[in-house]
Chain A
Amino acid sequence: MKTLRSQSGLVTLDYLFAFILVGGFSMLLFALSTTLATVEIVQYITYSSARNFYASHVTPKRQYDLAQKKYTELVNNPVLSPLFKNGWFTLDQRAFTIGSVTKTNPDFQRYRQDDANNLFHGTAVFLTANVLDFNVPFFGPTTRITEGGREGYGAYIGSYLGRESTFLECEEMMKTRWQAIQSLDPSYSQANARFIYVPSDNGC
């Protein structure tokens, strides 16, 4: 009887081993699921900001300001802000961009070199998933350690909807166009300015 009692202790070690291993995998899956969900949330934030940047206004600065306002509003939203304040995820403000993303996203810089007309205008930010970087007891870290240090997990998240031309840009373009028309023939420049009206439909 005494022998049987002592045998039951053997299972403890096996259980401990299996528990830590399975626990590590479970934590990894949980962290990955949370990361993918947060990616969708950040994607929405950038899309919403880019949508404000896209819509026409009086000046490009007003478009920028509205996009900035929407981004700040959503990031500081009481429901969403805990995600970025509890240390699990970080939005890198250095990579945050409203406007041409080819300047800040290193992966997009080659696009600019390929073709000057290939523009990416919108809102982008770099999300770092700190939640994926943790140590599983006895089994090591979930992040690869190289000579350069620990490789983190992150990605650029952005929405590139473009930007509509503003009222002032349209006005300037129509003015330039009228000057070009006038330069075509002397009779155009001699026309009575009172009978000339350039209709503006808030677009070019």
Chain B
Amino acid sequence: MVNLAKSQRGQIAVEMVLLIALSIGIFIGISSIFREKQYFASILSKPWTAISAMIQDGVWIPGELHPNHRNRWVSVDGEKQ
């Protein structure tokens, strides 16, 4: 019985090593997916197109006319423009 108890403690150690290896594997896997897919870059680069348009032209859609453009500050058709 005494010998069995000792071997059981060793089993825990092995399981610990396996769990740590698994955790590190998941950690490396997730981080490599993040790097390959450039998730962190996408978080900012996608909305940045709209943000820079707002900074530059005061509109969310890139390519829209600046408020100083005559088609925006002069309108003979009222709401149609």
| Contact with B40, one of A24, A155, A156, A158 (Cβ below 8 angstroms) | A24
Say yes or no: A143-B45 contact (C-beta < 8 A), given A3-B12, A17-B27, A24-B40. yes
Q: Which residues of A contact B69 (CB under 8 A)?
A: 111, 118
Judged by a CB distance under 8 angstroms, whether A79 is at the interface is no
| Contact with B41, one of A7, A140, A155 (Cβ below 8 angstroms) | A140
- Give how many A residues have a beta carbon under 8 Å from the other chain's beta carbons: 40
| Contact with A139, one of B24, B40, B44, B57 (Cβ below 8 angstroms) | B40
Say yes or no: A115-B70 contact (C-beta < 8 A), given A132-B44, A142-B40. yes
Q: Which residues of A contact B48 (CB under 8 A)?
A: 153
Size range of the interface on B?
20 to 34
In chain A, positions 95-153 with a C-beta closer than 8 Å to chain B are 107-108, 111, 115, 117-118, 120, 132, 136, 138-145, 151, 153
| Contact with B70, one of A17, A118, A151, A156 (Cβ below 8 angstroms) | A118
Query: When the two chains form their complex, are residues A155 and B55 in contact, meaning their CB atoms are under 8 A apart?
Result: yes
Q: Which residues of B contact A118 (CB under 8 A)?
A: 69-70
**Nearest CB of A to B56, in Å:** 5
Query: When the two chains form their complex, are residues B24 and A144 in contact, meaning their CB atoms are under 8 A apart?
Result: no
Q: Which residues of A contact B44 (CB under 8 A)?
A: 28, 32, 132, 142-143, 153
**Nearest CB of A to B26, in Å:** 8
Judged by a CB distance under 8 angstroms, whether B3 is at the interface is no
Query: When the two chains form their complex, are residues B43 and A28 in contact, meaning their CB atoms are under 8 A apart?
Result: yes
Secondary structure at the B interface, as helix, strand, loop or mixed, is: helix
Query: When the two chains form their complex, are residues A157 and B56 in contact, meaning their CB atoms are under 8 A apart?
Result: yes
Say yes or no: A6-B12 contact (C-beta < 8 A), given A17-B27, A120-B66. yes
| Contact with A13, one of B27, B39, B40 (Cβ below 8 angstroms) | B27
Query: What is the CA–CA distance of A143 and B45 in the complex, to the nearest angstrom?
Result: 7
In chain B, positions 20-59 with a C-beta closer than 8 Å to chain A are 20, 23-24, 27, 30-31, 34-35, 38-45, 48, 51-52, 55-57
B binding-site residues for A, Cβ under 8 Å: 9, 12-13, 16, 19-20, 23-24, 27, 30-31, 34-35, 38-45, 48, 51-52, 55-57, 63, 65-66, 68-70
16 pairs from A and B in contact (CB 8 Å cutoff): A16-B27, A17-B27, A24-B40, A39-B55, A43-B55, A107-B57, A107-B63, A117-B70, A118-B69, A120-B66, A138-B35, A140-B38, A140-B41, A143-B45, A157-B55, A160-B68
- The 6 tightest CB contacts between A and B, nearest first, are A140-B35, A155-B52, A138-B31, A144-B41, A155-B55, A139-B34
